Structure 1
C-alpha cells in the first residue's frame, strides 16, 4: 500500500468513526475518542491511542491484540507505585511465616510447596492479565461484532459499498477500544487489591500466594491497629486461598469455566447501541465510555444465565466463607483480629474490586449476598465434626455443600455427624436406585440379575455354579 492510499484509508476510518460517534457531521477529534476510551486527552495519550488503532487496522488477524491491555494496565499501575523498603519486605515475609504456622493448626489442607511472593502493582498486572483477557474475550468479541453491525446499518448509502468489506477495520477499532478499557480497569484494580486471592477467583498460578506491600500499607492506614497484626491477618487469608486452590485442583477450572460460559452467553443490545450512535454528543465522550463499561449495552440476563450466576455465586460464597472461618480460627490469638475482619467485610460489602471488575468485563455483578450464610454453615460443620472432616469436603466436587446446604446446614451436619460416628448413611430413593444398578439388581428389591434369562447375557452360556464377575 502506498503512502497516498494509506492516507485515504485513514480518512475513511475517520469518516466511519464520525458516523458512529455523531450523526451531525461534526469533524472528528481524536481527543474525543481518547476520552471514550477512558484515556487522558494529552498529546502523548492521543498519539499512543492512534498508534494502537493503526497497528490494529494493519494487522492481518481479526483477533484482539491483548498486549494493548497489558501496556495500558502496567502504565497505569506504575504511575503511583512506590518501592518497598527492605524492612517492609522482611516484615511481610515474617508475617507469612507466622501465618503458615497458625494455619497448620486449624486446617488439614497442606502447606504450599512454593514460597509466597511480594508483588508490585505493575507485576500484579503482568501476572494476572492472562486470566483477565480469558474472561473478557467473549464479551469483547460480542461488542466488536455488534459495532460492525451498527456501523453497517447506520452508514449512509454512499458508504455502504465501502463498509461491505470493512468488517475487519471495525472489529479492529472495537477490539482495540475494549482492550484499552480492560487495561484501564486492571490498572485501577492494582491499586485496590491487597493479595492474589482478593478478587475471589484464582488469578495467579495454582499454589501461589502473594501480597502487594504498598496496598497492604494503605489498607491499614487509619485503622488504629498495629501494622504487624494487619499483615499477619491478611497473610493468613492469602495463604488459605492459595492452599485451597492448590488442594482442590478442580476448583480453578470450575470457576474459570463457569465465568467464561456465562460470558459467552452475553449478547450486545444493538438497538441500545444504535440509540447511542444517534444521540451521541461529541462534546461528551464520557457517555460512550460509560455505556461500554457499565453494562448498559448488555441486555438483561437470560434464565440460563441467571441459573449459571446462582451456581457461581454459591461456589464463590463457599470459598470465601471457608476462608473467613479458617482465618478467624487461625488468628484468634491476635488482639485486633475482629477489627481487621470487620474491615475486610465492610470493604467487600461495599463492592470492592471484584464487583466493578466483573461488571465491567462480562456484565457480571458479584456481591457477597450469601457469604455470611456460607460462613455460618462452615462454622456449624467445624463445630460438629472438626477441621479434618470439614476440609475433606473439598477433596471432590461431588462432596461440596450445595446451595440448599448453605440455606439450611442441618441435613449436611447430620449426615457428616453420622458418618463420623460410623453410622450407615440413610439412603433416599435415588441412592437406592444407584446402588441397585451398580450391584446388578432390579430396583424394587427382587435380588435378581438385571440381565435375567433372556439369552442376551454374554455370560449365559457359562457354568452357573461359580460366582459371576461384577
Structure 2
C-alpha cells in the first residue's frame, strides 16, 4: 500500500530530479497506480470525460480492473480521497494526473524524452545568442539569469505553482457555493454531505486541471507560450522534444527554429523581469475576472438535492456542463477586456521586437512569425479545456493589432520611447487604442513633446510653462 495521500502512487513530496523522475514514469507507464485512477478518459471541453469502458461509472471502471483481493485497498483509497480537506483543488492529484498524461505521449505518438547534455548546451547557446540580438532592438536588459532545457515532466513540475494561482480563485467560488445552496437550518444536518461534495469537487477539479496541464505539456515550447510567466522568475526554458515536433514539417533547419523560439522566450523574460508590476497586473486581472463569476445556484441545488455518493461522476458532469458562468456586468466585462488587452500588448511587443531582431539574420523569420501567430490565435485543446474550466481563453485576440501598434511606436519614438511606456500601466495603450494605433502614436508624440518643453522651460528659469500646443513640435522627436 502506498504511503501517498490517496494511495495511487503519487510522486514523492520532494520532486525527483526531472530527468530521473520522467525516466521512471516512462519505464513504469506513469507511476505505480493505473494510468488514470478514476477511469476518466479524454479532455473536458473536447468531448468530455468518457469514451472508454466504464466511462459511465468511473469508479466502477477502476474497481472492475482489480482482483477481489485488492478491493479492500481500493475502498481505502476511495476513503482517503473523500477525506481530502485541502484547498478547492486537489493539487496532489492534479500533479499525478499531469505526469501520467505526459508519460502516455502526445496524439502523434511522440513520447517525452530525457534531455541530454548536448541539448542542454544547445538551448543555453541559443538563449545566449538570442539575448545578444535582442540588445539591438530593445532598451530592456536581459532578464534570463539562466537558460534550461526541460522535458515535459519537468515543465509540469515547474509550472504547477502558477496554475494554482490562476485556478484556485474560480474553484474556491464553486466550493463556497456548495455550502451556500442549502437553507441555513439544513446546513448543519447536511454537513457531512457537503464536506463529501467539496472533497469530490477538489478531486474533479484536480483531475481536469491535471489532464489539461499534461496535454499542454505536450504542446508548449517554453515557459511563456500563453503570455503568462508560468515558470520560475529569471529562468528561460525551452523544451527540445516539443521544438522538434513543432518544426518537423516547416522545412526550416532545427537550429533556426530553436533560435527563433529562444528569441521569444528571452524577450518574454526581459519584459517580466524589468516591468515589475506586469506579473501582478496579469494575474490580478485573472483574479478580478474570477470574482465576477456567478455560480448557477439552481443547477447546484439540483445537484446537491440528488447527489448520490455511489454516483459521484454527476458532480463532475455539473462542473463540466457550465455550472458557473461569467456575470454580464460592466465590472466583469471590464476585467475581461483588461486581461485580453494586457495579453495582446505583451504578445504584440514580443512579436514586434523578435521580428526586428530576427528579420535581418534569419531567412525563415517571416515564415516562423506567421506560424506562431496562427498557433497562438487558434489555441490548442488544452487551452480550450482551461477555457471550459474557468470560462477564460488565455490567448491574445488582438495580437496583430498590438504588434502593429508597437512597430508604429518604434518608428515614431524609437526603441527607448516605445519601451518607456512599460513604466506604468496607465501609460499603456488601451483596447480603444488598438482600434486606432496611429491616433495613439500621434497623441503620444504630442504629449511627450509638451512634457519635454515644460521640463526644458522650467530648467531655464521660465516663470510659467507654455502649455499651448505648437504644431511645429509635431514629429520633432521622431527618428
Of stretches 268-277 and 253-262 in structure 1, the one that deviates more from structure 2 is 268-277
Counterpart Cα distance in 1 of 2:196 and 2:395: 37
CA offsets, 1:263-322, max 9 Å, x none?
12222213334667899999x999875653464543554332111101111111110110
**Pick from 83, 91, 107: which aligns with 1:58?**
83
After TM superposition, give the deviation of residue 412 of structure 1 in Å. 3.0
Tell whether 2:292 aligns with 1:265: yes
Counterpart Cα distance in 1 of 2:190 and 2:369: 56
Counterpart Cα distance in 1 of 2:240 and 2:205: 30
Q: Is the 8 A contact 2:98 2:213 kept in 1?
A: yes
Counterpart Cα distance in 2 of 1:39 and 1:384: 63
Normalising to structure 1: TM-score of the pair? Answer: 0.73
Q: Is the 8 A contact 1:105 1:330 kept in 2?
A: yes
After TM superposition, give the deviation of residue 102 of structure 1 in Å. 0.8
Tell whether 2:133 aligns with 1:102: yes
**Pick from 114, 125, 131: which aligns with 1:83?**
114
Distance 1:49 1:257, change over 3 A: farther
After TM superposition, give the deviation of residue 216 of structure 1 in Å. 0.9
CA offsets, 1:409-458, max 9 Å, x none?
234322443466x544799xxxxxxxxxxxxx9xxxxxxxxxxxxxxxxx
Counterpart Cα distance in 2 of 1:143 and 1:168: 13
**Pick from 373, 390, 403: which aligns with 1:375?**
403
Counterpart Cα distance in 1 of 2:74 and 2:170: 21
Q: Give the alignment of 1:386-405 within 5 angstroms.
A: 386-405=414-433
Q: Give the alignment of 1:56-205 within 5 angstroms.
A: 56-59=81-84, 64-80=89-105, 81-112=112-143, 114-147=145-178, 163-205=190-232
Counterpart Cα distance in 1 of 2:220 and 2:158: 13
After TM superposition, give the deviation of residue 68 of structure 1 in Å. 1.9
**Pick from 389, 395, 420: which aligns with 1:361?**
389
1:24 equivalent in structure 2: none
Once superposed, what is the RMSD of the aligned Cα atoms? 3.8
Tell whether 2:58 aligns with 1:34: yes
Counterpart Cα distance in 1 of 2:270 and 2:229: 11
1:342 equivalent in structure 2: 370
Counterpart Cα distance in 1 of 2:85 and 2:376: 43
Higher relative contact order, chain-length normalized (CA < 8 Å, sep 6+): 1
Unaligned stretches of 5+ in structure 1? 1-28, 154-158, 428-440, 442-470
Counterpart Cα distance in 1 of 2:396 and 2:328: 19
Counterpart Cα distance in 1 of 2:134 and 2:94: 37
Structure 1 or 2, whichever has the larger Rg, is 1
Paired residues, number: 392
CA offsets, 1:328-351, max 9 Å, x none?
111112011111111111111212
Counterpart Cα distance in 1 of 2:345 and 2:221: 21
Q: Is the 8 A contact 2:120 2:148 kept in 1?
A: no
Counterpart Cα distance in 1 of 2:415 and 2:62: 50
Counterpart Cα distance in 1 of 2:72 and 2:238: 35
Q: Is the 8 A contact 2:174 2:295 kept in 1?
A: yes
**Pick from 283, 291, 294: which aligns with 1:256?**
283
Distance 1:388 1:184, change over 3 A: same
Counterpart Cα distance in 1 of 2:89 and 2:386: 19
Distance 1:59 1:289, change over 3 A: closer
Q: Is the 8 A contact 1:199 1:354 kept in 2?
A: no
- What secondary structure, in the 3-state scheme, does the structure 2 residue paired with 1:391 have? helix
Tell whether 2:432 aligns with 1:408: no
Distance 1:251 1:189, change over 3 A: same
1:13 equivalent in structure 2: none
Unaligned stretches of 5+ in structure 2? 1-52, 106-111, 455-463, 465-479
Distance 1:42 1:255, change over 3 A: farther
CA offsets, 1:387-418, max 9 Å, x none?
11111111222322222322212343224434
1:223 equivalent in structure 2: 250
Q: Give the alignment of 1:295-374 within 5 angstroms.
A: 295=322, 297-298=324-325, 301-332=328-359, 333-352=361-380, 355-374=383-402
1:22 equivalent in structure 2: none
Of stretches 337-346 and 130-139 in structure 1, the one that deviates more from structure 2 is 130-139
After TM superposition, give the deviation of residue 141 of structure 1 in Å. 2.4
After TM superposition, give the deviation of residue 260 of structure 1 in Å. 1.3
Counterpart Cα distance in 2 of 1:49 and 1:376: 58
